Amino acid sequence: MPRVVVVNIMERSVRKTGGFHQVVEMLYREPPYERATDRLQIHNLELDKYRKAVDEPASPLQCWLSAICRSQDSQKPLKEVVEMDPKLNEYACHDEGFAQFIERHGFVAATPEVRKAYRRWQYDVMLDKLHEERMAQEQERQLAEGIAEAKIEARAEGKAEGRAEGKEEIIRLLIANEIPDVFLEKMAAEAGISKEKLKELKNVIMKEDNSK
C-alpha cells in the first residue's frame, strides 16, 4: 500500500478538545488496540480553533493557515493577502509549494465557473439557515398560541371544579390540541399530574375523538 496523507481543512471543529491540528490514525477496534497501518495518516486542521490560538504565524503550517483564514475573513484574494503581509510574503519566496498554491488558488478563483459555483453554495447555505430559523420561530409561535388558547379555555371551564381540576382540564385541552409530547409532559409535570394520569387522560381523549 502506498503512503497516503489526507489533509482536511475544516471551518468548524469536529472535536471540542485538543489543538487546531488533530492527527488521526487507524486502530483495530478489538484488543489489542494496535495501529492498523503506518501507511495512512489523516490531518484535521480546524480553522476556528486556529483563529483563537494564533495571532502571528510562527511555522510553515501556520503560514498556510494564516493565509487561508485571512483571505476568507477579508474576502480578498489569497495573493493580495500574502503580498500585504511581510512574513507570509517572505515565506512564499522560500517555499515553492506555498508559492504554487497561491498562484493556482488565484487561477481557479478567477474562472467564472468556480465563482458561480461558490456564489450558489453561499446562497444555498444562507437559504438553509434562514429556513431553519423561520421553522423554529413558527414552531415556537404555534406552541405559544396553542398553550395560551388552551389555558384560556381551561380557565373558563374549570373554575367551578377547583384549582386541581382546572389544571387537569388544561392538560386535556393541550392533548386535544395535539401539543407535542415533549411539551405536554413538561406542562403535566408542572401541573403535578403524573405520567400514569397523563396516559389515562390521553386514552380518554382518544376514545372521545373516536366516538364523534
More confident site: 209 or 103? 103
pLDDT at res. 13: 86
More confident site: 180 or 23? 23
Predicted confidence (pLDDT) per residue in 75-130, tens digit: 888 899 999 999 999 999 999 999 998 888 776 666 666 666 666 666 666 667 77
Q: How far is CA 183 from CA 93, 141, 175, 192, in A?
A: 62, 14, 10, 14
pLDDT band for position 66 (cuts 50, 70, 90):
very high
Q: What average pLDDT score do residues 11-23 get?
A: 89
Please check the confidence at residue 53 and state whether its pLDDT lies above 80: yes
pLDDT at res. 123: 62
pLDDT at res. 160: 44
pLDDT at res. 93: 93
Judge whether 50 and 11 are in contact, CB under 8 Å. Answer: no
Q: Which of 98, 13, 101, 14 is CA-nearest to residue 57? A: 98
pLDDT at res. 48: 92
The backbone region for 136, taken as left when phi is positive above 0, alpha when psi lies in -120 to 50, beta otherwise, is: alpha
More confident site: 41 or 204? 41
Predicted confidence (pLDDT) per residue in 156-185, tens digit: 554 545 455 666 777 777 777 666 676 667
Q: What average pLDDT score do residues 193-211 get?
A: 78
Could you give the CA distance from residue 23 to residue 41 in angstroms, rounded to a whole number? Answer: 7
Bridge-partner residues for 5, per DSSP?
41
